[in-house]
Amino acid sequence: MSNSTSHDEKIKPLTHGATLRCVSGGVLMGMANLVPGISGGTMLLAAGIYPRFVKAVADFTALRWRKSTLLTLALVVGSAAVTIPLLAGTVKNLVVNHQWIMYSIFIGLTLGGVPVVWRMIDRATASVWTGAIAGFVVMVTVAALQSLGSGSTASTNSVPLMFVAGVAGASAMILPGISGGYLLLVMGVYVPVLAAIDTVFKAVKAGTFSQAVTPALTVILPLGVGVVIGVVVISNALKWLLTRFARPTLGVLLGLLIGAVVGLWPFQQPVRPTPGQVVKGQVMTEEKIAELEKDEWPTHTFNPSIGQVAASAAMILAGFAVTTAIARFGREREPAAKDSSAVS
């Protein structure tokens, strides 16, 4: 594609099938936001609406409020917003109590997006493979860091740190394969952020608004500003890359998508911590262990039985079939833009 292509390229009108994919992608994105280690961007990519969503966010932030832009955002964001409160308890309980089954399903849902992205690439070139390898290596590195159990917490609620955390969280919302919760955990602000949200919620509920001021100003506000700025910058950058360098960019996204599976090894389960063990930066005592919810227990791998392996394979196939079925509706038939970097 020529470098003269306009940034103002319009999003294609929504067909009935594309509408279904937007709604399904929003539901999957909402579910992903409920599960640690799962990326909402991965689910949008798997549903085949990732480029459309990125362009819609970029257009909206540039005040180009076309009908197709507003409908795309309304369907995706609205579906996610409805899914999160409706399924929060159910999904959380399923993941905590049946983790290997749920992770198997998520693997299938994620892998189901591979043929979708492959069709968007149109023609494999050296730039596609280079991008795919780079994306895959990034996700393997993230999974390796996650396996180290990085869970320290920030010693102070630093406003600049919370702003940076917000930008990082926005990156995870837009970039597939990376979990926002995991990035916050690596940065050491996961626990302070949750604590601040809980404090503000309880203070507002009790009517003691003065107790909400400090966490709101030092944690939630800078975090929120970082998220907004991050979404604006990253979505516009991705739109530019998808317009100018479609194949290598889609290659990177393909690598991120496949690499995301590495961090979803299904045969693991939460294990009750023991006294003296460090969990999320705190040394466990019997009292702290008793106060710890099961979803906060550290996870450990286990050796599955033959039946569990067979069931996991069945769940992976089921998840793959669901994503593939969703992608068949309203398939975007036009291949990815042929960029100048794709010539090889």
- State which residues form the domain around 49: 16-267+303-342
Decide if 309 is inside a domain: yes
274 φ/ψ sector (left φ>0, alpha ψ -120 to 50, else beta): beta
The alpha helices in 188-279, defined as continuous H runs, are 190-206, 210-215, 221-244, 246-260
Decide if 46 is inside a domain: yes
Token representation of residue 46: 């798997």
Q: Is the pLDDT of residue 168 over 80?
A: no
Mean pLDDT for the chain? 77
Q: Is the pLDDT of residue 273 over 80?
A: yes
Token representation of residue 119: 């069709």
The structure's pTM equals 0.64
Structural domain tally of the chain?
1
Q: Which region among 104-113, 118-127, 290-299 has the lowest average model confidence (pLDDT)? A: 290-299
Q: What is the pLDDT of residues 118-159, one digit of tens each?
A: 877 878 899 999 999 998 998 888 777 666 654 444 444 578
Q: List all residues 6 or more positions away from 225 whose beta carbon is below 8 Å from its beta carbon.
A: 163, 166
Q: What is the spatial distance between Cα 206 and Cα 278, in angstroms, rounded to a whole number?
A: 33
Decide if 277 is inside a domain: no
Quote the pLDDT of residue 74: 93
Token representation of residue 85: 């409160």
Q: Which region among 28-42, 87-101, 174-188, 194-208 has the lowest average model confidence (pLDDT)? A: 174-188
Greater confidence (307 vs 179) lies with 307
Decide if 4 is inside a domain: no
Decide if 8 is inside a domain: no
Strand pairing category for 282-283 and 278-279: antiparallel
Q: What is the spatial distance between Cα 17 and Cα 136, in angstroms, rounded to a whole number?
A: 30
Q: Which region among 5-9, 13-17, 46-50 has the lowest average model confidence (pLDDT)? A: 5-9
Taking the alpha carbons of 263, 265, 268, 274 in that order, is the dihedral positive or negative? negative
Query: Per-residue pLDDT averaged across 75-88, rounded?
Result: 82
Decide if 292 is inside a domain: no
Decide if 107 is inside a domain: yes
Q: What is the spatial distance between Cα 181 and Cα 153, in angstroms, rounded to a whole number?
A: 13
Query: Per-residue pLDDT averaged across 168-179, rounded?
Result: 68
Quote the pLDDT of residue 334: 41
Q: What is the spatial distance between Cα 111 and Cα 117, in angstroms, rounded to a whole number?
A: 10
Quote the pLDDT of residue 343: 38
Quote the pLDDT of residue 313: 95
Q: What is the spatial distance between Cα 44 and Cα 46, in angstroms, rounded to a whole number?
A: 5
Q: What is the pLDDT of residues 212-248, one digit of tens each?
A: 888 888 888 898 898 888 888 888 888 888 888 888 9
Quote the pLDDT of residue 337: 45
Q: Is the pLDDT of residue 340 over 50?
A: no
Decide if 140 is inside a domain: yes
Could you give the percent of the chain with pLDDT greater than 90?
10
Query: Per-residue pLDDT averaged across 252-273, rounded?
Result: 83
Q: How confident is the model at residue 36 (pLDDT cuts 50, 70, 90)?
A: low
Quote the pLDDT of residue 341: 45
Could you give the percent of the chain with pLDDT greater than 70?
78
